Structure 1
Amino acid sequence: MFRGSIVALITPMTLTGALDEQALEALVAFHIENGTNAIVAMGTTGESATLSHKEHRHVVKRVIELAKGKIPVIAGTGSNSTDEAIELTQAALQDGADACLLVTPYYNRPPQEGLYQHYKKIAEQVAIPQILYNVPGRTGCDLLPPTVERLAKIPNIIAIKEATGNLERGREIMERCGDDIIVYSGDDATAMELMLMGAKGNISVTANVAPRLMSDMCFAAINGDRATAARLNAQLDDLNKTLFVEPNPIPVKWAMSQLGYGSEGVRLPLVPLSESLRPQVLAAMHKAGIKC
């Protein structure tokens, strides 16, 4: 359904943490103009953990309005409460999202059967395409390939964002599930290799800063053109690393502020990028051909 570069969109804010509506409008236009293939609104990079439900729904709805059907919008609707995830997913369906991205339940550390039942219930309750999201480094919970294989049989579970950075994990999911599920990378540093192995796109933090370059790299890799993908990925390599020198989205928020899309503001308990790390991020932007 979705292929290529799928940006994990930041939520532009003022320095006080208020939503910056003008910057959000400009940001969506920036991605439409620069080849991004789909937008994830209210994922981890969008600071979903610190927005109220009212704000969360507002941002998703506003991104859908701004996209105007020109680019698909995937709403982040995961929660560690199954009922809350259902509520957020129903809201996204009502507001016109093309699909939903559901992170594994964080903190409560459910067993594999709990994960299966969690996702199964959401899929049965809400008739919208759903993308599983596995990022154990953040959640303390790992959605294992046998469980993904079971979930892939549910018709409206269409894909997984595999953010472990473990290429063998991605390969195993593809081998187990075949055409029953699409695999997307959720790790910019290893995305090229996973797409060359058969993944169909990258749900990307780096795409915020370098949308055209990331889109071109993704399609080269998806099409099996290793030489072109490697050449483009070499330009992105430093960005893929430095945008994680502090917890996401701290560095990417600062980088986007340098491009004029909101301030560096993030919500507590996150704080703006350390002064000492800013030259490193700026150098990576310059290497990628991004002019500030």
Structure 2
Amino acid sequence: MTVKSLISSLTQQEDLNFLLTNRIPRAAVTRFMGWFSKIENPLVRDLSILCWKLFSDLDLSEAKETNFKNLHDCFTRELKPGLRPFDPDPAIVTSPSDGIIGAHGTIRDGELYQIKGAPYSLRDLVVDPAVVETHRNGRFVTLRLTSSMYHRFHAPADLTMEQVSLIHGDTWNVNPIALKRVERLFCKNERAVIRTHLASGEPFTIVPVAAILVASVRLHALDRVLDARTERPLVFPCSASARKGEELGWFEHGSTIIMLAPGDFEFCDNVQEGARIRAGEQLWRKRVA
């Protein structure tokens, strides 16, 4: 058995996985990783990336540049041009990022779920009553980004950003093991609520949720990083338009994106729980009356 397969076997044991990734000082470890990842030392960088490859399926063959200054540069790497074409159909809302499709479906009177049988409140997730009313009976989808994935996210359609709110919180792991064990997990973690409307007028909300080792998100429209050190006020008015596929920002290491859409949006056939999806691929289709 190889070292990588042994590590994979051990981390697939749910009790051990949960213990190693949650029963530790999560905030302190996350702050440490934020500092450590920015060390500009070739030996530290190379050993860190080598270790990362042992624990994941990290593939840097798509990276635009591989001469990284530090581990952080590797996490937030750009891709070679043309590798994530966005579906040009204006009736299609695409995936904003690479990810694994998690819970998805209809929001029923303000209630959605992180896994089957584990509901949570839209109000607890977004806090803003206006967003709750907008999406009370809408649609939602959860996209989980693993540590090895491409971490930049893009406009899923032509849209205008209206407001960004930061909600301070914890840094629980967001993998399926933790989602089964921690109630209302997404409502406990650090997260941003990005209110937008599509060019066709429909309201659309993007909620990036932090996780252990990642509690920050960089948004180009605000020209700043939002994290646990961001001070009040935590609501940022914004009026920035983006074309479908245009980069909106990036996660520092990997996390989850919850997307909220109107109820008349239909999921495309490729949307299946557990399936991998790439930025630019079909996610929703606007229902034709």
Larger-Rg structure: 2
TM-score normalised according to structure 2 size: 0.24
Relative to its length, the structure with more helix (as a share) is 1
TM-score normalised according to structure 1 size: 0.24
Relative to its length, the structure with more strand (as a share) is 2
